[in-house]
Amino acid sequence: MKETHFTGPDEFEVKVLKVWNEDGKKYVEISPNLFYPDGKGGQLGDRGFVGNAKVLYVWNERIEVDKEISRGTFLAKVDVERRKEVARQHTAQHILSAAAEKLFDVETVGFHMGEDYTTVDFDSDVNLEKIVELSNDVILDDLTVEEMTVSPSEVEKYKLRKVSPKALEAGNIRIIKIGEFDLNACGGFHVSKTGEIGSVRIVHSERVKGGFTRIWFVAGKRALIDCKNRDEVLKRSSKLFDASWKDLEERVKKSLSELKEKNVKVKKLSQELAKFIAGEIKKNDIVEVDEMVASFVTRLRQDVAYVLKISPNSASVCLPIEAKEEVISWAKGNGFKGGGKGPIYRFNFSDFSKFKEAFLSFSQRK
Ligand SMILES: [Zn+2]
């Protein structure tokens, strides 16, 4: 296929040849289609306009658009800013992959660009900090990024990081050269100087199927947006803790340890309160308690029928005089959801007064 995406104009006249709807989506076939297709080489596709219809997704043979468009001649426009941002992500991927190989002899086995993050799969573990550090040095060095096209027979002359047999079969190979740092075959968009990337950040990593390490990264404006979002969370959290961002971690640690201590105290007090309630409880009593207290009371007292109301719509119930099947069928018959290990049950209901009435008539039968 002729690579018109890299040399072609950003605005061009197109003929809309076919217009159709499919599963509630609108598609057009245009000629020429100079929009870069989604998924090609793991990259995001172009966006822009065909006439006044927004481009939502691009294939070689069709384009999804946001509104009806008639057949005829229109002006098509590529969203150049998006292309630039895609180029930043893509070139950053080359640099990260090359850095991983240089530092840890790790091979890149997968790459996928999403609308928010780009992922790269490495064939083994890597030290992410070192990779990011070297990659940002390469970005700051503002190396020249060149594109070269070579024939399959010439390819061997170049020490390419990776070239697929499929690409060799397809004909001439497009090589992306980043200063003296990296040479790699690729069919996507790239910046012309590494400085245009701005910076790269790895935001997440995890082990994935096959023993690979997957990283999620952002570069260019995405890296700035990522920093801004994190900064805002930090600012809001600092405000909540009335601390500067530098003191925030210590403040959170302190609060968590205080909370832990308090929880121990609450548990102890709940046990004592439960002992008291369990001792006082009489048949058919209805008591409002906290969930933790309820769990202690039901362990201590199981010889009389009672209800512990935990929330407006739920209660723990002791029914020692009934067989479990009878209790379950009574609850089901009244529309109460729940169950339990007799004699202790837990039920949810929409109206407590109805539940109370049903419980009293059920437990007083015997
Ligand atoms: Zn590339």
Average pLDDT of span 133-151: 95
Distance in Å, CA 32 to ligand 1 centroid: 24
Q: How far is CA 51 from CA 4, 27, 35, 155, 301, in A?
A: 20, 14, 14, 42, 76
Distance in Å, CA 187 to ligand 1 centroid: 6
Query: Domain containing 52 — which CATH number?
Result: 2.40.30.130
* Contact by Cβ (8 Å): 103, 130: yes
Count of CA atoms in the C-beta half-sphere (13 A) of 361: 8
Q: What is the pLDDT of residues 50-68, one digit of tens each?
A: 999 999 999 999 999 999 9
Helices (H) and strands (E) in the chain, counts: 9, 18
Mark the residues whose beta carbon lies below 5 A from ion ligand 1. 90, 186, 188
Which residues lie below 8 Å from residue 173, measured CB to CB, with a gap of 6+?
Answer: 149, 150, 151, 152, 155, 163, 167, 185
Distance in Å, CA 174 to ligand 1 centroid: 10
Q: What is the pLDDT of residues 21-43, one digit of tens each?
A: 999 999 999 999 999 999 887 88
Q: How does residue 263 score in pLDDT terms, banded at 50, 70 and 90? A: very high
Distance in Å, CA 236 to ligand 1 centroid: 38
pLDDT beyond 60 at 2:
no
Distance in Å, CA 107 to ligand 1 centroid: 15
Do 325 and 302 belong to one domain? yes
- Pairing label, strands 285-288, 306-311: parallel
- Pairing label, strands 25-31, 63-65: antiparallel
Q: How does residue 308 score in pLDDT terms, banded at 50, 70 and 90? A: very high
Tokens describing residue 162: 């990776």
Query: Domain containing 122 — which CATH number?
Result: 3.30.980.10
Measured between alpha carbons, how far is 9 from 191 in angstroms, rounded to an integer?
A: 17
The overall average pLDDT reported for the chain is: 92
* Contact by Cβ (8 Å): 360, 305: no
Distance in Å, CA 91 to ligand 1 centroid: 6
What pLDDT shows up at residue 41?
78
Q: What is the pLDDT of residues 148-198, one digit of tens each?
A: 888 877 877 777 776 666 666 767 888 999 999 999 988 889 999 999 999
* Contact by Cβ (8 Å): 6, 77: no
When divided into structural domains, the chain yields a total of: 3
Helix (H, G, I), strand (E, B) or coil at 355: helix
Helix (H, G, I), strand (E, B) or coil at 141: coil
pLDDT beyond 70 at 119:
yes
Predicted TM-score of the model (pTM): 0.77
Q: What is the pLDDT of residues 190-219, one digit of tens each?
A: 999 999 999 999 999 999 988 899 999 999
Domain range for 358 is: 263-363
* Contact by Cβ (8 Å): 267, 259: no
Do 11 and 35 belong to one domain? yes
- Phi first, then psi, for residue 284 (nearest 5°) are 65, 20
Do 120 and 189 belong to one domain? yes
Measured between alpha carbons, how far is 236 from 249 in angstroms, rounded to an integer?
A: 14
Do 273 and 335 belong to one domain? yes
CA 278 to chain centre: 48
Q: Tell whether 100 is covered by a domain.
A: yes
* Cα–Cα nearest to 76, from 22, 21, 1, 17: 17
Q: How does residue 16 score in pLDDT terms, banded at 50, 70 and 90? A: very high
Q: Which residue has the higher pLDDT, 46 or 8?
A: 46
CA 295 to chain centre: 37
What pLDDT shows up at residue 21?
95
Burial 281-304 (b: 16+ CB within 10 A, else e): beeeeebebeebbbbbbbeebeeb
Residues listed for the chain: 366
Which residues lie below 8 Å from residue 130, measured CB to CB, with a gap of 6+?
Answer: 99, 103, 104
CB atoms within 10 A of CB 353: 8
* Contact by Cβ (8 Å): 104, 132: no
Distance in Å, CA 151 to ligand 1 centroid: 18
Query: Domain containing 348 — which CATH number?
Result: 3.10.310.30
The residue behind tokens 């409880």 is 281
DSSP state of 243: S
Do 224 and 299 belong to one domain? no
Do 220 and 334 belong to one domain? no
Do 52 and 141 belong to one domain? no
Q: Which residue has the higher pLDDT, 159 or 345?
A: 345
Measured between alpha carbons, how far is 164 from 149 in angstroms, rounded to an integer?
A: 15
Distance in Å, CA 190 to ligand 1 centroid: 6
What pLDDT shows up at residue 43?
86
What pLDDT shows up at residue 168?
67
* Cα–Cα nearest to 278, from 294, 297, 264, 262: 297
pLDDT beyond 90 at 120:
yes
* Lowest mean pLDDT segment, chosen from 8-12, 201-205, 231-235: 8-12
Distance in Å, CA 92 to ligand 1 centroid: 9
